[in-house]
Amino acid sequence: MASAKEGPRGMFLDGQELTVTGREHRTLLDPATNRPIATVPTGTKEDARAAVESAAKAFGASGWAAPDGQKRVQVLGRIAQALAERWEEFARLETLNQGKPLRESKGDVLYAARTLEYYAGLADKIQGETIPVPGDRLDYTLREPLGVTVHIAPWNYPLQLAVRSVAPALAAGNAVVLKPASWTPLTALSFARLATECGLPPGLLNVVLGSGSEVGEALVTDRRVASVSFTGSPGVGRRIGELAASRVVPVTLELGGKGPNIVFSDADLERAARGVSFGIFLNAGQMCWAGSRLLVQEEVKERFLSRVKELALKLKLGPGLEPGVEMGPLVTREHRAVVEGYVTRGVEEGAVPLVGGPGAALSPGLEAGNFLAPTIFDAVTPGMTIAREEIFGPVLCAMSFRTPEEALALANDSDYGLLAGVWTRDLSVAHRMARGLEAGMVSVNEYPVTFPQTPFGGFKQSGLGFEQGSRALEFYTRQKNVNVNFAPARPPRT
């Protein structure tokens, strides 16, 4: 079980966690108290190179990439089971490091376990096709692993999002280098250890720590790296896209969002209010797919907002490890300052806080942590900064509309296009909205929702490519065409 203090942890290379002395270290803090919880070494370009070296060797020597995939099915299945069995240890560690309530961390760990189970089931079903061609020829395709794949993860769902791309990459037979976010590496390190205990050959999953600008870029630009899976902010995503393009390697970019949650007057309004509240206050709003823009039909707006306000006021804030806590702190002091900046800006630009707002009081005892009161802004207009930029905190921006066409225009008036929510009992409206929304994912009458077997990805500045689902395996494999001419030998010319 994770203690309040984890002590020194190290990078995970060649099947071992290496705690080293005499190197620069980063002290990780509990977001609920800002007290130290662990130290980790600050990685360098050399560490990035060593991690890629380890993966490249393991890819060649471990037999992991064998076409039948039987070993991958068995080992990934064991890891899935072990993670599900040890959920509490991992959930506690996630909460300690990231701050979210324990029940959310439990959900994240079980989701990661289910993702592993899903891809374990697919690992021996990766196959090509035969293609009819003229004459005495057999033409077929092979799907082969890429080799060394790099995975760069953010801090909001440290374990779940790391596993989301690592699991299909391993299932496809690749060797992986994972770089977690600098502030939240603990569950990724423990996961690598667990995977090794479950029989994953050394070198197939390396976890390298350090800054994005040094270690992240060293990974992306290493000529032995065959693909990059990035989840994080749009600015960094664009940089990684450029670096990957200059090497002509495939990349997936899972970036930010400004999700519209669209509530029609005929919806089950109680269910919608709970969904809207969940969609913005879960993980203290630190979600790419947060429903941060509430679009509500004019005739029910007042009633609906007063119910969402009631729910926000009832939320119990506190340290994620305390029983009954419904919203934890933000991840760091720095990030809280960014979110507070948006809240102040909202008021300056004319939005009206119904709940929260600049300097909103917190319960006594929370001052030392990075807590921030939930905020609901009314009177938001589409041009305001808070309506356009991703805030990544517990801040809901409410606007109203009259017709479905108007709702669609407002919803699509965004640089982002990740998840959009629609709340209505009218099937025709639901399907017309689903067709018209410029978003990689649309959810009707619940928000947010995804499963390991369904694609996750965004349009516009929300990203490039998809994670999850069986099609993700196409990204982690390459296709080869083989043509065989089996025409009988011609008699020799006389």
Q: Which residues of the chain form contacts with ligand NAD (CB under 6 A)?
A: 152-156, 161, 179, 181-182, 212-213, 216-217, 220, 231-233, 236, 239-240, 254-257, 288, 390, 392, 418, 458, 463
Task: Choose the catalytic residue: 6, 94, 104, 288.
Answer: 288
Question: In this complex, which beta carbon is closest to ligand NAD, that of residue 105 or of residue 424?
Answer: 105
Burial of residue 213 (number of CB atoms within 10 Å: 0-12, 13-18, 19+): exposed
Which 3 state secondary structure label does DSSP give 274?
Answer: helix
Tell me the longest C-alpha to C-alpha distance in the chain.
102
- DSSP of 286-320, one letter per residue? --TT---EEEEEGGGHHHHHHHHHHHHHH--BS-T
- Which one, 74 or 233, has the nearer CB to ligand NAD? 233
Strand order across the 352-355 sheet: 352-355, 375-378, 395-401, 293-297, 260-263, 419-423, 441-444
Contact indicator for 177, 52 with CB cutoff of 8 Å: yes
Q: How far is the CB of 464 from ligand NAD (least distance, A)?
A: 10
Q: Smallest distance from the beta carbon of 125 to ligand NAD, in angstroms?
A: 25
Q: Which residue is listed with tokens 């203090």?
A: 5
| Minimum CB–partner distance for residue 186 and ligand NAD (Å) | 14
Residue nearest to ligand NAD (CB): 212
Nearest to 226 by CA among 345, 383, 106, 59: 59
Amino acid type, 399: M
Nearest approach, Cβ of residue 273 and ligand NAD (Å): 24
Cβ proximity to ligand NAD: between 288 and 372 the closer is 288
- Specify the residue, 287 or 294, whose C-beta has the smaller distance to ligand NAD: 287
Q: Which of 299, 305, 307, 301 is nearest to 270 (CA)?
A: 307
Q: Is 270 a catalytic residue?
A: no
DSSP H or E segment with residue 435: helix 427-436
> 137-145 and 130-131: which strand pairing?
antiparallel
Considering the complex, state which of residue 42 and residue 233 has its C-beta at the smaller distance from ligand NAD.
233
Question: What pairs with residue 149 in β-bridges?
Answer: 176, 227
* Residue 156 amino acid letter: N
Q: Is 198 a catalytic site residue?
A: no
DSSP assignment of 368-410:
TTT----EEEES--TTSHHHHS---SSEEEEEEESSHHHHHHH
In angstroms, what is the minimal distance from the CB of 368 to ligand NAD?
23
Between 111 and 392, CB nearer to ligand NAD:
392
Closer CB to ligand NAD, residue 82 or residue 243? 243
Retrieve residue 470's tokens. 């069986």
Backbone angles phi, psi at 168, to 5 degrees: -65, -35
Integer Cα distance of 95 and 101 in angstroms: 6
For residue 51, the SS3 value is: helix
Distance, CA of 289 to CA of 260 (rounded, Å)? 9
Q: 94, 217, 254, 467: which one is catalytic?
A: 254
Smallest distance from ligand NAD to CB 134, Å: 45
Is 253 or 430 the residue whose CB approaches ligand NAD more closely?
Answer: 253
Q: Kindly state the smallest distance separating residue 228's Cβ from ligand NAD, in Å.
A: 9
**What is the nearest approach in angstroms of ligand NAD to the Cβ of residue 327?**
18
By C-beta, is 122 or 161 nearer to ligand NAD?
161
CB of 138 to ligand NAD, least distance (A): 41
Q: What are the DSSP calls for 193-249, one per residue? A: HHHHHTTPPTTSEEE--S-IIIIIHHHHT-TTEEEEEEES-HHHHHHHHHHHHHHT-
- Rounded to 5 degrees, what angle do the CA atoms 462, 466, 471 make? 165
Active site residues: 254, 288
